[in-house]
Structure 1
């Protein structure tokens, strides 16, 4: 069963029976392996709550018994679970632990899946460069092992994340790689892969090409099954948008009418709401503004109802995961992981969002100063482009070590994303904050970078701000630090800029 994908197993009857038999034999290890398979099947079937509960059970057992294989597998499913319920920080924490526990003996197909989930989680947490690197690692592993379907899945994930980020050039560069799997290897592109390609083509205004890309799906070609239900509805929505944007409003209306019929036939509430949004835009494009307004009101009402139902479902799923004592202990253990940046080990933006408000409240209560400094590496893109993203990661890690060494006690060093870092310095007035930031700037500039970056120097610009009695908000404090950072950049970089006297 472990060598068969969850899509192919389809039902959890077999792993449930193995779980029962293993229990009768007293083989808890086999029970946990069967439950992990069952959790994967349930997740694919949309049974998120039960899947998360089982994955958490397996994870607690694997932690107690130091079973690296089950640790990796359960962390993977928990990463997917938290991603689906919208908790990106926990998803990243579990994805990172999943890859950490993936040993050299891990099957290539499994390791590629783990790397791909880490990439998705990194992207969701605002680390696109690291995400691209992990995606490429996953693709290399899958391709080397001859896992063509998995390679294509990874490519689609890469392309879709670039599309979501609005990176039209990077997304387009992946289309030939995706199409090569069909022309060169005979691996058909699934409907949602074609939809990804069409969406990217639309970013460049190639509306006719986007429609042609999805024609096999909307025409019901047997090579691209399934061409019904949700895949068909989503592709029809894309085609209707392409037709509207190209000015062919009559055909766009026909396509939307067909999408309505598909949504009603299969009970696709989310897609039906999005049809209303497209219909409103089509009405507006033809000057029917009153009808556009009414249709958009209906869209807004349906979306609000769907979002409320999703929030309730997520709450039930999270309750199922954290209902046992073992799960609660795991929750505390992973809270710390969720607050850490996976690459550098520094605190992340989620922690900053929680902690900075608390520190400001404390400073206000004691009428003590508090300083914050934004640290941004100068010309960091040059390192990634000239050397590699792996070299860039090493630079980030070594800079992070310098920041960590510069703080103590209640002080905070965090990575906000990319090459931007933050220091929070309670009980530190403006003069002392500037002195400490200047020492940090010099330490970064004087660090022995030559073995890492060769002739390319590494320096940082720092914007520091201070409130004398804590009377500020996190957003206002960071905005002022950002203005000072911009001033440091504008003045020539590799310098510290504080508040005006």
Structure 2
């Protein structure tokens, strides 16, 4: 391709270099991307360079999502993802999935956020630069941890860390370390948090990297874990003196809240009140509703610590009222954002691959409840027309809570994944295996009568019981209770089948668990 320009319109390779430069900018500079990306999209469309236009458009969507314009950003990311799938553009598709993961986490749908984060890593080409792959792995790490899979999240974060360090991407390395340190703080693991903060300090000393307000706040929280109140003060003082970069609008308010917490725990009640007053003022100026509610909560704690119990009670009531109003506003915002996405989502629905992904459970890969709700009624219509049977079984893991409570949620996830593999084996031919939620699964057997369905479920029960669980759960046995029902000639509704299978399941549990109970739908 030529490097010459035609008139005032840059040549295609100039446009591509410009888009690549915007895509490679550190995330802390996202505000510098919007205007040049919009101009590059316009120029790319003038030249008929549709893929470049889509990449530039996706950059604009990323800025919108980080600025809080969630509905608009999500809508554009969906459109770009659908385009990339239709035109076999895996790099664009992977980037779009990453933005969609951010969108769905922002609107409170962590499961869908994880689905897109997985896809963002899965479809990214193998030759993608290490720093790009690190970004995608970090998004997956965050989505996994938000879903409760902390061990898997940490593993992905460490992969991202290795890639970022190898690529010499200091900002990405710091971002990953900061996320890991804050996760360790939230889990109460002070030694791990301190090791990670020490790594951040070593890199800062070696590279001259300037810590941002979010990183400083993480460090202060880690110091707070050990009751090192003076260290918290020393860390936060430059932030409050406006000597530290604060990319996020709530970063300084968060630092003030951390400072107030440290001062209260240190018995410096006047200083705590001073920090809370400053935080409250900043929240009002910048409309930081979420932080404002937490300021109320800390104010109530301060009143209680100083024996002002009536005021503490009133402040707690105000905190509760603000939190309720905030949750209501967040629900409304999520509804508006989702509406904005799905109003312009015909292209997405037209994509069979995207449809398949939307009908899969992120953890196990089995079909999800959405797929079952759409597919089974259609199968019943087909069965009734052909006067053929259709059987359905609900499978529930016995005492599954013990696995999570005694071992860990990560172990529980592994159990669910192994059970899903065994269900896939049992779902031969046209049968369907699905995860309905939690530890509850479903098997659908088109064309299978009651006797055969019960036999298949009994084989599955024994297979699960005999599975080699020791490396995963130790001495804890994994068993299942199963409720099976059949519509002999397809003459039943889906809800009636589910209700009967559920009744049979509870009969199995009442009968001592680890058994199959069958019976036709009434």
Question: What range is the shorter-chain TM-score in?
Answer: 0.7 to 0.9
Verify the 8 A CA contact 2:394 2:441 in the aligned structure 1: no
Verify the 8 A CA contact 1:237 1:259 in the aligned structure 2: yes
CA gap of 1:446–1:241, structure 2 versus 1, over 3 A, is same
**1:175 aligned residue (182, 188, 194):** 194
Are positions 1:20 and 2:39 aligned together?
no
CA gap of 1:198–1:465, structure 2 versus 1, over 3 A, is farther
Structure 2 partner of 1:115? 137
**1:211 aligned residue (222, 232, 257):** 232
1:163 CA displacement? 4.0
**1:44 aligned residue (24, 46, 66):** 66
SS in 2 for 1:414: strand
SS in 1 for 2:23: coil
1:113 CA displacement? 0.8
SS in 2 for 1:461: coil
Provide the aligned C-alpha RMSD in A.
4.6
1:476 CA displacement? 10
CA gap of 1:292–1:101, structure 2 versus 1, over 3 A, is same
Summarize deviations over 1:269-294 as a string: whole Å, max 9, x none.
33223211211121122222221222
Are positions 1:322 and 2:342 aligned together?
yes
1:180 CA displacement? 2.3
Summarize deviations over 1:67-88 as a string: whole Å, max 9, x none.
0111011111111111111111
CA gap of 1:6–1:331, structure 2 versus 1, over 3 A, is farther
CA gap of 1:18–1:79, structure 2 versus 1, over 3 A, is same
Structure 2 partner of 1:288? 308
Are positions 1:92 and 2:117 aligned together?
no
CA gap of 1:481–1:230, structure 2 versus 1, over 3 A, is farther
Are positions 1:279 and 2:296 aligned together?
no
SS in 1 for 2:267: coil
Which consecutive residues of structure 1, in runs of 5 or more, have no partner in the other structure?
A: 359-367, 489-495
- 1:389-468 correspondence to structure 2 within 5 Å: 399-407=419-427, 412-414=433-435, 422=441, 439-440=459-460, 442-443=462-463, 460-464=477-481, 466=483
Structure 1 partner of 2:17? none
1:102 CA displacement? 0.8
1:115 CA displacement? 0.9
Summarize deviations over 1:407-429 as a string: whole Å, max 9, x none.
46776443867xx6745689999
Verify the 8 A CA contact 1:378 1:460 in the aligned structure 2: no
CA distance in structure 2 between the partners assigned to 1:217 and 1:335 by the alignment: 50
CA distance in structure 2 between the partners assigned to 1:307 and 1:457 by the alignment: 41
**Structure 1 length-normalised TM:** 0.76
- 1:86-165 correspondence to structure 2 within 5 Å: 86-164=108-186
CA gap of 1:154–1:330, structure 2 versus 1, over 3 A, is farther
1:332 CA displacement? 8.1
SS in 2 for 1:102: coil
Verify the 8 A CA contact 1:445 1:458 in the aligned structure 2: no
1:219 CA displacement? 4.5
CA gap of 1:227–1:92, structure 2 versus 1, over 3 A, is closer
1:403 CA displacement? 2.0
CA distance in structure 2 between the partners assigned to 1:267 and 1:149 by the alignment: 28
Verify the 8 A CA contact 1:92 1:118 in the aligned structure 2: yes
Summarize deviations over 1:24-66 as a string: whole Å, max 9, x none.
2222122112111222222222222222222122112111100
Structure 2 partner of 1:491? none
Verify the 8 A CA contact 1:99 1:114 in the aligned structure 2: yes
CA distance in structure 1 between the partners assigned to 2:474 and 2:294 by the alignment: 50
Are positions 1:220 and 2:237 aligned together?
no
SS in 2 for 1:168: coil
CA distance in structure 1 between the partners assigned to 2:423 and 2:150 by the alignment: 22
Bigger radius of gyration? 2
SS in 1 for 2:100: helix
CA gap of 1:497–1:37, structure 2 versus 1, over 3 A, is same
CA gap of 1:285–1:377, structure 2 versus 1, over 3 A, is closer
- 1:474-489 correspondence to structure 2 within 5 Å: none
Which consecutive residues of structure 2, in runs of 5 or more, have no partner in the other structure?
A: 1-21, 378-390, 486-495, 518-522
